[in-house]
A and B are shown apart, each in its own frame.
Chain A
Amino acid sequence: MSYRDKAEQLHAELEKHPGTEDLRKEIKAVLVRPEHGPTLRDRLREFAAQHPKLAGALQGLIDELNAAGL
C-alpha cells in the first residue's frame, strides 16, 4: 500500500473523529505538495501522542511517508 493509499485511508478514518479538520487538511495537502511531508509527519506524531487509539493508523502513514522519501 502506497503512502497515498495510507493517507487516504487515514483521512477517511479521521472523518469519524470531530476536531480533526486541520490534520485532515494537512493530509490532503501532502498528496499535492510533497514539501508538506515533514510538517505532516510532526503533526501525526503529536496527534498520535494525544490519541493512542489512533496511533497504529498514524504510525502506518508515518512509515509510508518515510518509505516514499517524504
Chain B
Amino acid sequence: MRLYAVLFAIGLAVYGALAWERLGKQSVAPQFVVQADAWLHGHLDVEPVTSDADWAKLETVALADGREVTGRRMVTQPLFRTTTGDFIPTSQLRQSKGVRWYMSFPPVPSLLMIPSALIGGRGGNDVIPTALVAALILPLLLLVLRRLRDAGLSQRTDEEHLWLVALLAFGTVLFFSSVQGKVWYTAQVCGVVLALVYTWASIEAAHPVAAGLALGAAALTRTAMAFMLPLFLFEVWRCRRAEWRRIALQFGAPVAGFAIAGMIYNAVRFHSPLEFGHTYLDVRQQILIEQFGLASYHYLARNLAVAFTLLPEFPGHSPWLQISGHGLAIWVTTPALLYAVWPREKPAIHRALWITVACVAAPSLFYMNSGWIQFGYRFQLDYIVFLIVLIAIGGRRLHKPLIAACIAINLFGAITFDRQWQYYRYGGNAYDVVVAH
C-alpha cells in the first residue's frame, strides 16, 4: 500500500512541478469547470463564453413564416441547419432570437470538476484536478501489472513494473497532457485512468460491474473508448464462458446506465440522442465538418501521417528544432512502444489486446481533427494502456536507457508545450501542410 501512495506522491510532485505557474489559476480552455458550474446552477447550457475554444453554439431564429427554429448557420452554404436536420435558406431567416452555448465534450470529466466549481464557481481551477487525476495513473498501472502477474499472464518483477510505470507516466504524451488543465488534455488524462480501471477489472473477467462502470464512464469521457469492449468479451470467453449470462448482466447494466444517461443528456440539449454537440462547434474545422462530416475516410491519410510519420524538423536556424502543430509520430515520442510489436511471448490475452487497440484507434483515424495542437499524437492515450500491457506480457527485456530517452523526449514536450511556441510550427499553412517539404 505504501508503494502505491509513494507512486501517487511522485506523480503529483512531478506533474505539479511541470505545471507550476499554471497551478494557481484556471486554464484557458476550462469547459469542464464551466459545465460543472452550470450544472450546480441548474443549467445544461453555459454562460456566454469569452474565447473561441471549441464551444458548441446553438442559435434560435425567427423565420419569415413566423416559426422559430434552433440550429446553426452553415459556413459553406447560405443555409441554416436545424437541430432536427432540416436545411433552411438564410434568406428565410427574419431575426436572431439569441444564442446558447454548450460544452460539447463528453461530460464525465465535468463530474471531477464539481469540487472546483463549488470552490471557485465558473472560474474554478482545472489544472490541479487534472494533475491529481493524472497522479492516480502511476499506482493504478502498478495495480494492473501486478494483476497480470497474479493471473499468470506476465512474469515481470516489481522493478520492471516500476520502469513501465515511469514509461507511461513520463515517457509518453501523457506527460505533457497532464500538466495543461485544458479541456482536451484533461479528457485524455481521465480516459487513461478509466482504461486502467477497465483493464484491471477485465483481466479474467474478474470484476464485471467495475469493468462496466469504467467502460461506460470512459465512453462518456472519450467517445472512441467505447470500443474497448473486445478485451472484456475475450476475457469472458477465455475464463468464464460458463457464466456468461450472469456476467453479461453485471457488465451490461452499468454500461446501459451510462449510455441511456448520455443519450438523454444529448437529446435534451441537441434534440438527438446521438448528437453530443460537435456538429455545432464554432471552430475552423466547421468547413470540413460540413463537407465530410465528423468522421470520414477523407481524414484517414492525414491522421495516419500524423500518427505514424511526423518527425522533428530541423530548420537550420534558430530555434534549430521545430515540431509540427500536429505533433510527433507515436514511435518518435515513445520509441519504447516498439516493444509492443516485438514480443518474445504471446500469452492468451495478446490477441485480445491488439484487437482492442485496433478498435479504439480506428475512430480517431477517421476523425476530422488530428489532435491539433499538440506535442505528440495525443489520441494514442485512448489505447496506450493496452500497449503498455502488451509490453508487460511480451516479456522482452526492458532497456533502461531507452525508457530514459522516452522520458527525456517527453520532458521536452512537458516543458515547452504552451510555453515556448518557437519550437512549434503552427502559423501560416502549418495546419494544412502536415508534412513540411
Same complex origin of A and B: yes
Hey, which bits of chain A sit against chain B, CB under 8 A? Answer: 2, 4-5, 24-25, 28-29, 31-35, 37-38, 68-70
| Contact between B373 and A37, CB atoms less than 8 A apart | no
Residue numbers in A under 8 Å from B427 (CB-CB): 34-35, 37-38
Min CB gap B47→A, angstroms:
15
Q: List 7 tightest A-B contacts by C-beta distance, closest first.
A: A69-B422, A28-B51, A69-B421, A31-B28, A32-B53, A34-B421, A35-B426
CA–CA, A37 and B425, complex, Å: 12
Residue numbers in A under 8 Å from B50 (CB-CB): 24-25, 28
| Contact between A29 and B51, CB atoms less than 8 A apart | yes
CA–CA, A31 and B50, complex, Å: 11
CA–CA, A36 and B218, complex, Å: 33
Please report the number of residue pairs spanning A and B whose Cβ atoms sit closer than 8 angstroms. 52
Q: Does B423 contact A (CB under 8 A)?
A: yes
Q: Does B316 contact A (CB under 8 A)?
A: no
CA–CA, A28 and B29, complex, Å: 10
CA–CA, A37 and B424, complex, Å: 13
Min CB gap B181→A, angstroms:
12
Residue of B nearest to A7 (CB): B28
Min CB gap B428→A, angstroms:
8
| Contact between A34 and B424, CB atoms less than 8 A apart | yes
| Contact between A33 and B421, CB atoms less than 8 A apart | no
Residue numbers in A under 8 Å from B431 (CB-CB): 35
A37-B427, A38-B427 known; A32-B28 Cβ under 8 A: yes
Residue of A nearest to B53 (CB): A32
| Contact between B420 and A68, CB atoms less than 8 A apart | yes
CA–CA, A2 and B423, complex, Å: 16
Give 18 pairs: A residue, B residue, CB < 8 Å, sorted on A: A2-B419, A4-B28, A24-B50, A25-B51, A28-B50, A28-B51, A31-B28, A32-B28, A32-B51, A32-B52, A33-B52, A34-B373, A35-B325, A35-B373, A37-B427, A69-B420, A69-B422, A69-B424
B10-23 near A? 1/0 per residue, CB < 8 Å: 00000000000100
